[in-house]
Structure 1
């Protein structure tokens, strides 16, 4: 939630907590225009509190509380939430050479739980263990862009949906997509329910996870950009989690476009059913191609600082461009890279954008 939604709480908040807000938000403030104004505005509503706040800031400086991040839990998220019974699943991962040919296959396991959406539909949530990773791409990576500058980011453990949200999972909350939330919809084939849900704006994705949170009493949300890339890479530093190349045997994208020495493939005219392509080392499918995926953040083209990822509730009512990641069935290979960053207006839903959830 935005600070503006907590005015009543701030009225009763002591100076120490306001200082912790200041410290925890200082990295974001450097890259989001007007961010300090949003924070300070809440303090000035209460002159006494604001006076103490600015007095101590002036006396001790911005680093009074170091890099304290009040919105980022210290312990793994699974220690703080109540979950259904946890299970292990086994899956195969592949590694490819620069032509996209498989050179190694491995069997892996990951922990997951099933979220029951109704009597017949479940949502599989996979554990993403926390860690530190190098976000972005090296200057030597083919087809990279300037806004992929590398920087270290620390991510705490979280759970992520195994696949993009499907038509069937959407129906569990909103009914048949054609009549829900003014979403345009075209579906082909006999397995429509297994297709990733498309034509979903950022605001509509927010509506989904809010209802899911209310139903389950768990804090579902969209992933941040850093969480998304961390989950996609699954410990790799190559352009794709498969390795140095991508083919249409590995992901659903426009196979007429080569990535370096990779082989040409299928020209897709629609997405694929989820889970048909190999998983990454975390057990996630369809992180490259199929549909772009919304992220929670405000899009920041200069995101290149080394700091822990902050799990904040971005104001869901603010009209600001939002990140999309992963590429789609319509995308060239270069746009499906782990580091590639793009964005869209939050009310822009088209047949190439979907989403997945985390908690």
Structure 2
């Protein structure tokens, strides 16, 4: 990143830093640009997962002091700058995708629909030495597969919003899957489904990401860090073997307040629950942006869908 961009008042990121360093990245079978931005499709043993380009940028992380039902560890609210973009799965990993990558194993408790998010998976099951992401990486040479950091997750969830939820100041069971017996900030009670639902059951955020609130908690790459009232660039929490890992987003079993964009928990990395799942990110190993990278070479074999 150009360090001049850190000067107060200087636009960030520069226009030529917004696009992916390689488009399409290795492993994509199709790509395009729609109302939500750039996307790619990647196939895993017959299961196609869409990823959305999350461009570099900056945002306010955490919750303001006056946000209803907030927790102390969500503050102080502070500015975070993410210097590199990444491709983020538009949904949590489904049971169908998990089985395609892991060879048929399905640890989930709610198996009525293969489009339900995989759950009952630990952080180690996802990011361990022989975990899901390692197996994805073997299938996609030239691409790094990993969980988003906590900062990247919140940035992606908010999609430019600063309200408790990416769609506004309130929430209802018509917008997300949670325990409607416990509404947010004095709202009305609603449906409690008592299980996960298929991905894409609710409207996406402004970056085309589904169920960033509710359904299952999502594992992040790092552990809980202490917030400070200073600008941070590409922050990461503890990542040692004994460190806990952050989960974000809330779940089908939780009160509405835990679904807020700023809500955060640290969880032991080897624990499994029917309310814990994940979505993952892809990053190209190519570090430098190529001029005209958006133009595909002839006979590339990758479908461009405008």
Q: Same fold (TM over 0.5)?
A: yes
Q: Which residue does the alignment assign to 1:131?
A: 57
For the 8 Å contact 1:128–1:160, the answer to whether it is kept is yes
Shift of the alpha carbon at 1:177? 2.9
For the 8 Å contact 1:196–1:271, the answer to whether it is kept is yes
Shift of the alpha carbon at 1:176? 2.9
1:172-197 residue CA offsets vs partner (Å, 9 max, x unmatched): 1113334xxxx4x32343xx210000
Q: Which residue does the alignment assign to 2:168?
A: 243
Q: Which residue does the alignment assign to 1:78?
A: 20
2:250 maps to which of 327, 332, 352: 327
2:92 maps to which of 150, 158, 164: 164
> TM-score normalized by structure 2?
0.79
Query: C-alpha separation between the residues in 2 aligned to 1:299 and 1:77?
Result: 30
Does 2:149 match 1:202?
A: no
Q: Which residue does the alignment assign to 1:273?
A: 198
Structure with the larger RCO, 1 or 2 (CA within 8 Å, 6+ apart): 2
Report the number of matched residues. Answer: 258
Map 1:217-256 to 2 at 5 A: 217=141, 218-256=143-181
Does 2:261 match 1:338?
A: yes
Shift of the alpha carbon at 1:129? 1.8
Shift of the alpha carbon at 1:304? 5.2
Task: Give the gaps of 5 or more residues in structure 2.
Answer: 1-15, 283-306
Query: C-alpha separation between the residues in 2 aligned to 1:303 and 1:175?
Result: 43
Query: C-alpha separation between the residues in 1 aligned to 2:103 and 2:186?
Result: 44
Root mean square deviation, CA, Å? 2.1
Q: Go from structure 1 to structure 2 and tell me whether the alpha carbon gap of 1:333 and 1:86 turns closer, same or farther (over 3 Å shift).
A: same
Q: Which residue does the alignment assign to 1:88?
A: 33
Instruction: Please identify which structure carries the higher helix content.
Output: 1
Query: C-alpha separation between the residues in 2 aligned to 1:143 and 1:164?
Result: 26
1:25-68 residue CA offsets vs partner (Å, 9 max, x unmatched): xxxxxxxxxxxxxxxxxxxxxxxxxxxxxxxxxxxxxxxxxxxx
Q: Go from structure 1 to structure 2 and tell me whether the alpha carbon gap of 1:336 and 1:282 turns closer, same or farther (over 3 Å shift).
A: same
Does 2:73 match 1:147?
A: yes
Describe the SS at the equivalent of 2:200.
Answer: coil
Query: C-alpha separation between the residues in 2 aligned to 1:292 and 1:305?
Result: 28
Q: Report which of the two structures shows the higher radius of gyration computed on alpha carbons.
A: 1
Q: Go from structure 1 to structure 2 and tell me whether the alpha carbon gap of 1:312 and 1:136 turns closer, same or farther (over 3 Å shift).
A: closer
Query: C-alpha separation between the residues in 2 aligned to 1:129 and 1:153?
Result: 14
Q: Which residue does the alignment assign to 2:41?
A: 114
Deviates more, 1:205-214 or 1:299-308: 299-308
> TM-score normalized by structure 1?
0.68
For the 8 Å contact 2:225–2:237, the answer to whether it is kept is no
1:309 maps to which of 209, 234, 242: 234
1:98-123 residue CA offsets vs partner (Å, 9 max, x unmatched): xxxxxxxxxx43211011111x2111
1:324-344 residue CA offsets vs partner (Å, 9 max, x unmatched): 000000010000000001121
For the 8 Å contact 1:147–1:303, the answer to whether it is kept is no
Describe the SS at the equivalent of 1:289.
Answer: coil
For the 8 Å contact 1:167–1:195, the answer to whether it is kept is yes
Task: Give the gaps of 5 or more residues in structure 1.
Answer: 1-73, 90-107
Q: Which residue does the alignment assign to 2:212?
A: 287
